[in-house]
Structure 1
Amino acid sequence: MSPFVESVVAAVRGVVGQGPVALHEPAFQGNEWAYVKECLDTGWVSSVGKFVDRFEHDLASYTGAGYAVAVVNGTAALQVALTVSGVRAGDEVLVPAMSFVATANAVWHAGAQPHFVDSDENTLGMSMPALEAHLDEVVEMREGKAFNRHTGRRLAAVVPMHTFGHPVDLSSLAAIADRYGLAVVEDAAESLGSYFDGRHTGTFGRCGVLSFNGNKIITTGGGGAILTDDAELARRAKHLTTTAKAPHRWSFSHDEIAFNYRLPNLNAALGCAQLEQVGAFLAGKRRLAERYETAFADLSGVTFVKERAGTQANYWLQTLLLDVDHAVYRDDLLAALNDAGFMSRPVWDLLSGLPPYRESPAAALSVAQSLAERIVNIPSSPGLADG
């Protein structure tokens, strides 16, 4: 084992103690048992119930969004958010090449084609200078709409993803999107509790989406939500995710082809209890980030990724970025960390290189490729801050 790898493992051990330590695990320390038991006791366990309504209300209140629509997972949320935001079959949607596969899959499920964009080393998300330069090269404007001059398809939307909870430059994105007539649909799946210029992520675009998978800031077991300030988009999202059933006491009339993406009351009950504790979860993650920052401050060859000025990150996954000349140690470091019982992982393979998407349009991706070779996520559970 190289001295560099040994020093990184020792730094992680100094923060979280001895292994085994999970990458990110949920904590159930509040009203989860009571709320779930209420569902069981009353029989309201399925797709309607008071906890669904409460969860949507509480999410809107917490994020500052006008409306929240709870759904079965984040991928479904993004698919429907794209649809209600005007994405149609045959369109292209600009997405970061470095993201979880759900970002591209949701575009495909909406009938569109993902179009991959490079990353920014400081935000880890979509690079706004790279996006603007690429659009300047590929866009042909027709009657106020952007078209890809190489494929002939309309560029309908752009989907920023706030990687590991670090917000992208949303001000620059808004200006670029306005210039080209692109709908902004935020993939805020990883950024509950993150803010840009004092405003919660997921509330800047036409729609934003959240995820409540078991490894997220809060969990409903599975689950997601669509955020929007537009009452009509919220109404339509709710309609499409609940089988497009017309309201009636007993009849089953469905006025369009839609989806059964309803979040069960049982899961919403769990989410309500989790959301009551989100402040404590975020505080724990921030304390853990501060401990990691101190541990890695004087270690050469690696940088702990911190929030940028003007942003507040939720530190969903604590992240190390190896120097370019230390990228060769990444796999040895991952092996050593996991062998020591500290569950760690690299970032996702670039979406543009996955078999389903190799023929999709893409900009130059040099920064994303470099980041993909240098990122390491280390144990991130909020409770580790006080271990």
Structure 2
Amino acid sequence: MFDALIRFIREQYRTNEFIPLHAPVFNGREREYVTETIDSTFVSSVGAFVNRFEANMATYTGSPRAVATVNGTAALHVALRLAGVQPGELVITQPLTFVATCNAITYCMAEPLFIDVDRHTMSLSPTALDAWLGEHAQIGDDGFCRTRIEGKVIRACIPMHTFGHPAELDGLVDVCSRWRLMLIEDAAESLGSFYKGRHTGTFGGMGTLSFNGNKIITTGGGGMVLTDDVFGERAKHLTTTAKKPHPYEFFHDEVGYNYRLPNLNAALGCAQLEQIESFVAAKRQLALRYAEQLEGSPLHFFREPEHCRSNYWLNAIICDSFEQRVALLKATNDASVMTRPIWQLMNRLPCFTHCRRGDLSNAEWLEERVVNLPSSVPATSTSEFLT
């Protein structure tokens, strides 16, 4: 049943060998920049490429400030600290996400509160969010959003732009503004994605990016906080162990984190970022070919939401049933074509089963049906194939 799809994927990548889900591509000046870093001996968290990477990312995304971190989870943790999240408070997010979103909340000794997603974005639903808050929350005399019964502070809201597809940001900005919630966008997967002409990660008080090896561009490991100048200064201070600048003295004015991105990684990131638009264009062409290939089949290709330009980080299809999903995963992986199911919902994981949640019908429906297909930038060579 899935032979045609497997054949089609092999044609895109021109190989009979194992096809990964998403592999990095190094076609630019990566080797040159990394060698330059090694020659300079500044390979750790101090070096010209860190500043350059931050400046170039701020320019590309349109963010006033960009602060590089050692990974995307660290960026989320710092963003939550800057938002003032305190132990025992609640942070709203979606159950359909990678575990890092919830881990970062837990690092602050806060608790995730799970609200449903929309099927057309696979990201946090502003309608579901507003409905839950209207039923269960109120603005306290102190101006904070609190649960009606216990009076727990709900400090922030973290939507995640699933597989690079932007969430409904207009609605989320409106709801968070009315309920006095700090909007922090988990844009780990959506570098190169735009909502109504504006880059994801720049709509809330803060946004975060990831440059893990499987992202659209990579620094090997790395992340970024996108924010304004005030939060940016605080982010840089916290991520450099809260050390006050001085020619030789060591003085740290608060508990900080050793979260800065090494210069070696930033060099790789600079070379990768120079190619971002070509990567996005190639991935969008691949997505179009997938959509055409699957037209009329029982597998439904997930397309970008209206008014968006998605980077199609991971291409997704929606199966007709859980049974079809299981069969597709087995057939493709048995054929050495890597496919993956969507994440298990966070509220099902042992560490988060106790967390509050609303009705999660859409997330549960998607969990049973979504499969990711190979999404690397396709090969351009005509090496030996299917001979």
- With structure 1 as the length reference, what TM-score do the two structures score? 0.95
Aligned to 2:153: 154
Aligned residues: 380
Q: Give the Cα separation in 2 of the matches to 1:220 and 1:316.
A: 16
Question: Residue 368 of structure 1: SS of its match in structure 2?
Answer: helix
- Aligned 1:296-315 pairs, distance under 5 A: 296-299=294-297, 301-315=298-312
Aligned to 1:319: 316
Question: Residue 215 of structure 2: SS of its match in structure 1?
Answer: coil
Question: Residue 382 of structure 1: SS of its match in structure 2?
Answer: coil
Aligned to 1:171: 170
Question: Does the aligned pair in 2 maintain the 1:219–1:274 contact within 8 Å?
Answer: yes
Is there any run of 5+ residues in structure 2 with no aligned partner, and where?
A: 383-387
**How many Å apart are 1:168 and its aligned residue?**
0.5
Q: Give the Cα separation in 2 of the matches to 1:332 and 1:125.
A: 26
1:380 to 1:63, Cα distance in 2 relative to 1, 3 A? same
Aligned to 1:371: 366
Percent of residue pairs bearing the same amino acid type: 49
Question: Does the aligned pair in 2 maintain the 1:284–1:385 contact within 8 Å?
Answer: no
- 1:336 aligned to 2:335? no
**How many Å apart are 1:14 and its aligned residue?**
5.3
- 1:247 aligned to 2:245? yes
Aligned to 1:96: 94
Is there any run of 5+ residues in structure 1 with no aligned partner, and where?
A: none
Question: Residue 174 of structure 1: SS of its match in structure 2?
Answer: helix
1:31 to 1:16, Cα distance in 2 relative to 1, 3 A? closer
The residue type paired with residue 88 of structure 1 is: Q
- Bigger mean CA deviation after superposition, 71-80 or 83-92: 83-92
Among 29, 32, 49, the residue aligned to 1:31: 29
- Aligned 1:138-287 pairs, distance under 5 A: 138-143=136-141, 144-228=143-227, 230-287=228-285
Aligned to 2:342: 347
Question: Does the aligned pair in 1 maintain the 2:159–2:185 contact within 8 Å?
Answer: yes
Question: Does the aligned pair in 2 maintain the 1:334–1:376 contact within 8 Å?
Answer: yes
- Bigger mean CA deviation after superposition, 60-69 or 17-26: 17-26
Question: Does the aligned pair in 2 maintain the 1:80–1:240 contact within 8 Å?
Answer: yes
Question: Residue 85 of structure 2: SS of its match in structure 1?
Answer: coil
Q: Give the Cα separation in 2 of the matches to 1:151 and 1:73.
A: 35
**How many Å apart are 1:119 and its aligned residue?**
1.2
1:378 to 1:154, Cα distance in 2 relative to 1, 3 A? same
**How many Å apart are 1:283 and its aligned residue?**
1.0
Q: Give the Cα separation in 1 of the matches to 2:10 and 2:120.
A: 26
**How many Å apart are 1:111 and its aligned residue?**
2.4
**How many Å apart are 1:11 and its aligned residue?**
4.8
Among 75, 90, 108, the residue aligned to 2:73: 75
Q: Give the Cα separation in 2 of the matches to 1:306 and 1:271.
A: 28
Question: Does the aligned pair in 2 maintain the 1:285–1:385 contact within 8 Å?
Answer: no
1:27 to 1:16, Cα distance in 2 relative to 1, 3 A? closer
Q: Give the Cα separation in 1 of the matches to 2:349 and 2:358.
A: 15
Q: Give the Cα separation in 2 of the matches to 1:131 and 1:386.
A: 47
RMSD: 1.4
**How many Å apart are 1:66 and its aligned residue?**
0.2
Question: Residue 256 of structure 2: SS of its match in structure 1?
Answer: coil
Question: Residue 383 of structure 1: SS of its match in structure 2?
Answer: coil
Q: Give the Cα separation in 2 of the matches to 1:356 and 1:137.
A: 26
Q: Give the Cα separation in 2 of the matches to 1:76 and 1:104.
A: 12
Q: Deviations over 1:94-121 (max 9, x none)?
A: 0000000000000111221111111111
**How many Å apart are 1:327 and its aligned residue?**
2.5
**How many Å apart are 1:151 and its aligned residue?**
4.0
Question: Does the aligned pair in 1 maintain the 2:13–2:378 contact within 8 Å?
Answer: no
The residue type paired with residue 330 of structure 2 is: A
Question: Residue 155 of structure 2: SS of its match in structure 1?
Answer: strand
Question: Does the aligned pair in 2 maintain the 1:77–1:226 contact within 8 Å?
Answer: yes
Q: Give the Cα separation in 2 of the matches to 1:140 and 1:385.
A: 56
Question: Does the aligned pair in 1 maintain the 2:12–2:378 contact within 8 Å?
Answer: no
